[in-house]
Amino acid sequence: MTELEKCMAGEWYDCHAPEFIEGRARALEWCARYNATPYSQRSERRKMLEELFGAVGTNVSVGDNFTCGFGTNIYIGSNVSINLNCTFIDCNRITIGNDVLIAPCVHLTTATHPVELADRLITNWNPESGEYR
């Protein structure tokens, strides 16, 4: 299994694998562009949601200062309003149904890690470079 397949299956995976680094970089760049796009440019913001998210229904609004982990694992139904300063860490699928209002500063996260210290320590890992020695 690839690291992404392990992640999506709910198994332990290496979050430093290139596919995660690239996906995270893409999402960070997207978030910067999205948050810099004025709220009045609703059609452009809509196109941007469709560009990154797994699915977007009709009549969807995502407020400013939105942050996500990857974006591609976010699926949003119709008639959804996501208020300001929300964070969605979508290491796995986040599904928001129809007719949903999400308050400001809400965090939705699918991320987890091993609880036991010995299970989460990575030997030979250099945190400065993100590489294994």
Q: What is the CATH number of the domain that holds 18?
A: 2.160.10.10
Q: Which residue numbers are catalytic?
A: 113
Residues in the chain: 133
Domain limits at 29? 3-114
Instruction: Look at the chain and report how many structural domains it folds into.
Output: 1
Could you read off the pLDDT of 3-34 as tens digits, one per residue?
Answer: 888 888 888 888 888 988 999 999 999 999 99
Could you read off the pLDDT of 56-83 as tens digits, one per residue?
Answer: 999 999 999 999 999 999 999 999 999 9
Confidence at residue 132, expressed as pLDDT on a 0 to 100 scale: 56
Residue 133 lies in a domain: no
Which stretches of 1-133 are DSSP H helices?
Answer: 3-8, 18-36, 42-52, 117-120
Q: How far is CA 90 from CA 20, 66, 125, in A?
A: 11, 13, 24
Q: HEC states along 31-54? A: HHHHHHCCCCCHHHHHHHHHHHCC
Residue 79 lies in a domain: yes
Residue 123 lies in a domain: no
